[in-house]
Amino acid sequence: MRQFKVSSSITPRDSQAIARYLSDISQIEVDHSREVELAQKIKAGGREGEQARNELVKANLRFVISVAKQYQRQGLELADLISEGNAGLLKAADNFDDTRGFKFISYAVWWIRQSILQAVSQQGRLVRLPLNQFNAMNLMHREKAAFVQEFGCKPSVEELATITGLTEEHIKMLQKADKFHTSLDAPVAGDDDSEMTLLDKMTSKAEDPDHQLEAESLHKDLSSIVGQVLNDREKHILFMSFGIGGQREMSLDEVAEQLDLSRERVRQIREKSLKKILNSKESRFLRKYLS
């Protein structure tokens, strides 16, 4: 089996990459009987400690996937959930105390869940939710699903408040905040098998001469707003990603290679930049282009 290196930023972006990743970790031999020995080597540090940390983490990668699957359809792709779970697993390996008498995975599950929950609450929505509010929203979703399963209809606000123990005002607030954003790279369903994205759909109007002046006006307003809201690196990444300013639209991999950054880091900066623009007061000047 080829060498498999554990990383906190394993984020395959398509189904084939995920399948390949799952195939890799399915071949890893697991021996939980060595947890105490590995934990002691990690504490000792050095090269052996690093190797022990890598071995302990690899033995539990499959468990991360089982946890990550529980948080799908909440704003982040499975690949990102796995990445965040792996980051939590690495932290658990660094902090595990074998003298407490419990198994590593019993300790690690808290770190894995917290890492995933924090990512979903901060990155899965345009409006960032505090972790306690995100947990309340998860409770609301679970009880709502159970209610529909039992009675065949959706519960009212009053019924949700009763079964969750939350106030009606709290339920209404959670329902209002329960919105997801759509990526400009999201595929648009059509009659053919083309991989057209939402961005392609939005920019296709530029081919029509009637929209040429509007496109030039949009570029002028966008450049002005970006200059006020974003720093130089964020502006550079955004312009490269979406082909703004007359340059060719570049993929995340191309941008990452040019700037010597990881693909995941480029994606994070791009998403953060879009949110900063959307949440800025200057974004009102862009609303006229959405009609």
Q: What is the 3-state secondary structure (H, E, C) of 209-252?
A: HHHHHHHHHHHHHHHHHHHHHCCHHHHHHHHHHHCCCCCCCCCH
pLDDT band at 89 (very low <50, low <70, confident <90, very high): very high
Q: Which residues of 256-290 are buried (b: 16+ CB within 10 A; e: fewer)?
A: beeeebebbebbbbbeebbbbbeebeeeeeeeeee
Query: What size, in residues, is the chain?
Result: 291
Handedness of CA 224, 228, 233, 234 (dihedral sign): negative
185 pLDDT band (50/70/90 cuts)? low
Mean pLDDT of 138-151: 78
More confident residue, 252 or 31: 252
Q: Cβ neighbours of residue 170 under 8 Å, at least 6 residues apart?
A: 136, 161
The least confident of 118-132, 164-178, 241-255 is 118-132
Res 249 pLDDT > 50: yes
Mean pLDDT, rounded, of the chain: 75
Q: Give 13's pLDDT tier (boundaries 50, 70, 90).
A: very low
pLDDT of residue 215: 59
Give the tens place of pLDDT for each residue, 254-288: 888 888 888 888 889 888 888 887 787 766 666 55
